[in-house]
Amino acid sequence: MQTKPEFPEFSKAYDDDGQGRPQVVWTTLISDLETPVSAMLKLAKGQANSFLLESVEGGASRGRYSFIGLRPDLIWRCFGNRAEVNRSATDAPENFAPCPVAEASGAIESLRALVKESRIDVPKDLPPMASGLVGYMAYDMVRLVETLPDDNPDVIGAPDSIFLRPTVMAVFDSLKDTVTIITPVWPQPGVGAEAAYEAAVERLAVVVGDFDAVSSPHSTEATFVDQPKPEPVSNMTRETFHGMVKKAVDYINAGDAFQVVPSQRFKLPFTLPAISFYRALRRLNPSPFLFFLDFGDFSVVGSSPEILVRVRDGKVTLRPLAGTRKRGATPEEDAALEKELHADEK
């Protein structure tokens, strides 16, 4: 296994007193016989606090990069303005303690401090997002930056936000048919450069070994006889939802609001592993932003056409969508659906 950088170059940036520069160590493998999903099954092995990010462009072509993140050393989460952090997540995934920054300045400042702490220089020849924080922020987080009522009962109990800092990233490059396995190194007091480098190489070696495992295409499926499809159950009646829409229209007409997004929650039983749900979703609805985040007690799975917001090299990209249509089977059908969408008064 060839790793980069080599130790002499690594040690120049590492300081035995823990004041050195955070950096990454990596190795690259040929991956023409592997897929991101099969790799996820091999590497994560159903373990919590892992994720897979993929992309389908133009409704048919796989995006260039796919990202797998594993074995975080740090997990940050918040419930309202109360934030907790686990700095020993690799060995003790439930070892959360109140975040001192949040206690003094609130959850948003706590997250900002964590982002600053987790910045790391990534060599230009590595794929983007080779290291850092990955997670989600729920819509409820808006209440931390704007005073809004909060009358809805919390029936799920999930954190308003979770961010993981993986110790291993596997980045697939579909153009080069390679996978680059990357591990960050954060200088620690009392840990010398040689020991830190050896630990990083060992983390890479474990993942390389996992890639050699043979995966079964049915490893996450269950065997069952034909059963009726379960009907989704909403958290409100159709009449209640229609009433919400009417009230929203009244607010807009009165000038009290310019946009309202009513929502409802559907639930149905699902007994298979969450990755099976993701596998089905990516086949049924391939989109530019496919995501599977496994937090153990629950998973966040989605397929979205919308970038929402992106910051890259100091440039902010916003691309909100006011409506969508399914992709057509042909360019002509795509054009017809586009024309229909443009004609929609929304």
pLDDT at 338: 86
pLDDT at 102: 96
pLDDT at 125: 87
pLDDT at 221: 53
Two structure tokens written together for 141: 């987080």
3-state secondary structure of 115: helix
pLDDT in tens, the chain (346 residues): 899 999 999 999 887 666 788 999 999 999 988 899 999 999 998 899 999 999 986 555 678 899 999 999 999 999 999 999 999 999 999 999 999 999 999 999 999 999 999 999 899 889 878 899 999 999 999 999 998 888 888 889 999 999 999 999 999 999 999 999 999 999 988 899 999 999 999 999 999 999 887 665 555 554 455 667 889 999 999 999 999 999 999 999 999 998 898 999 999 999 899 999 999 999 888 888 999 999 999 999 999 888 888 888 889 998 877 677 777 778 898 899 888 888 887 6
DSSP E strand stretches across 141-280: 161-173, 178-185, 233-234, 266-267
CATH number of 7-222+271-305: 3.60.120.10
Query: For 67, phi and psi rounded to 5 degrees?
Result: -130, 130
Query: What are the sequence ranges of the domains in the chain?
Result: 7-222+271-305, 230-269, 310-346
Residues 6 or more apart whose Cβ sits within 8 Å of residue 304:
287, 288, 289, 291
pLDDT at 90: 92
Q: How far apart are CA 10 and CA 256, in angstroms?
A: 58
3-state secondary structure of 289: strand
Q: How far apart are CA 134 and CA 86, in angstroms?
A: 15
Which amino acid would we find at residue 48? Answer: A
Q: Which residue matches tokens 């959360």?
A: 96
Q: pTM of the predicted model, to two decimals?
A: 0.88
Of 123, 129, 81, nearest in space to 101 by CA: 81
pLDDT at 226: 63
pLDDT at 195: 95
pLDDT at 324: 75
CA torsion, ordered 28, 29, 35, 37, to nearest 10 deg = -60
Two structure tokens written together for 328: 């057509």
Radius of gyration of the chain (CA): 23
Q: How far apart are CA 280 and CA 325, in angstroms?
A: 20
